[in-house]
Structure 1
């Protein structure tokens, strides 16, 4: 199977590529620069297409030509969630692609405007981001995790590597072209952390940020979306589809910490 990974240089794109190689698939990459790929991934690519900007239709047409499936792992930017994804799925239609694992944001539009039935995946909080990239959550210098609400609330985490493995299991499963909503997440872990206030405090900060910055300034208050909705359980989802893919060995959070001593 030849798989195109759009956004291959990112947090989720790289694990998806490695998971595809492990399963014997060919991988084509689409991103801004091949230099951002680790050598083990770069050296195994079928080819790499450079995308110059969010609206590089020519690059998307080249990238989608002849592939069997597409994994959309674009960065978490509104422009890429909507505009670039729209252009990519249109390129996929022109190329006759049937399997498309994408970002959830434009499901309703695609349902009424496209012949492709995408796969949407819901995961737990990405451990690699929470503990390695977000000092608002985890401060490795002081070993402090900042949160709102009770110290006993359960949080579900999924590692980027596990996401990559689940994605490849899903897109190669029978009837994949029929589309689906899948959930993949780890077990729960409870920790005693540094409390910054109650759930009401987090909700108030979220509302204040939305009022002050509006939707276009989402990055100023996005942390409070997570710090409110995760402990409030408003983002919980059932059922979990982990049992459908027993070939994936889940990474426990304790194991993630052992693999990442710098955290």
Structure 2
């Protein structure tokens, strides 16, 4: 198949490009700057279509021409997820494309109301608008927390910097900034695994029927993470109890109320999202069961132990 990947140079897009090429598909990338893609990967593309802004319908039409499937790998920026993705959906309709994997790859928001976590609101709105207005039936994958987000790799998500859960210290020591008890099993996916699942899903029989799918690499609690790290690396992993969940919820409400009252939610919501994720991790209220993991036996499921051993950053 010829697969269009908007956001091909992003934190998940590169993995999706590699997976698609390795599986024998041709890949067309859509992005702002082809130079951001590694040269070895760029050389394997069918083409790279550059876009100027979120509403570049001319570029979107050019990118969709002759394409068999689309996997939208943009990050969680609301204007990309809702505004740009709707423009892209219309371009896909004009090109008669039926296989369309939308931005997702997080916890289970299929039945989540708006306002629970700001970074999901645009995804929920897109899914509803697509259902109401488009003949295309998008695919969505829920995979729990992504590895680089969990471990605070710079540029990888909402759990980095001041909001980091995982903190690297000198000499191999690590600190987990914990909100709550840390005992709740948490679905976890490596970027490589979820990219493999996404490509397998999007190119599978019946993908044009769309739907919500659930996959993860492994499941473990934060306390399991501490124990596993210490066993494998022989270094201490300390728990820093930041606050209990009740206090965290109060902080979220106060921060959200203040931001809305001052008309600054669009500027400050990213600071709120990290706290909401902490509540999700402790309560497990939107966790997935990886019921679709066995659909594609060739898709790897990397364990936490394997990931720690293979990744120096951790």
TM norm structure 2: 0.80
- Counterpart residue number, 1:245: 296
Does the residue aligned with 1:196 lie in a helix, a strand or coil? strand
Confirm whether residue 191 of structure 1 aligns to residue 219 of structure 2: no
Confirm whether residue 219 of structure 1 aligns to residue 270 of structure 2: yes
Question: Following TM superposition, where does structure 1 have runs of at least 4 consecutive aligned residues deviating by more than 4 angstroms?
Answer: none
Partner deviation per Cα, 1:14-52 (whole Å, 9 max, x = no partner): 110110011100000001111111223211000001111
- Counterpart residue number, 2:251: 205
Aligned residues of 1:2 and 1:69 also touching (Cα < 8 A): yes
Confirm whether residue 2 of structure 1 aligns to residue 48 of structure 2: no
Aligned residues of 2:143 and 2:288 also touching (Cα < 8 A): no
Match of 1:109 among 116, 129, 143: 129
- Counterpart residue number, 1:164: 195
Gaps of 5+ in 1: none
Aligned residues of 2:26 and 2:46 also touching (Cα < 8 A): yes
Correspondence list, 1:1-263, <5 A = 1-103=1-103, 105=123, 106-131=126-151, 132-133=153-154, 134-135=160-161, 136-141=164-169, 143-189=174-220, 190-192=224-226, 193-214=239-260, 215-216=265-266, 217-238=268-289, 240-263=291-314
Does the residue aligned with 1:41 lie in a helix, a strand or coil? helix
Does the residue aligned with 1:115 lie in a helix, a strand or coil? coil
The 10-residue stretch of structure 1 (6-15 or 140-149) with the greater mean CA deviation from structure 2: 140-149
- Counterpart residue number, 2:109: none
Partner deviation per Cα, 1:165-192 (whole Å, 9 max, x = no partner): 0001101111111111101112222234
The 10-residue stretch of structure 1 (11-20 or 195-204) with the greater mean CA deviation from structure 2: 195-204
Aligned residues of 1:185 and 1:240 also touching (Cα < 8 A): no
Give the length in aligned residue pairs.
Answer: 263
Structure 1 residues 238, 258: closer, same or farther in 2, change over 3 A?
closer
For 2:193 and 2:225, how far apart are their aligned partners in 1? 22
Offset of residue 239 of structure 1:
5.5
Q: CA RMSD in A?
A: 1.4
For 2:138 and 2:279, how far apart are their aligned partners in 1? 29
For 2:203 and 2:94, how far apart are their aligned partners in 1? 22
Aligned residues of 1:151 and 1:191 also touching (Cα < 8 A): no
Offset of residue 204 of structure 1:
1.5
Gaps of 5+ in 2: 105-122, 155-159, 227-238
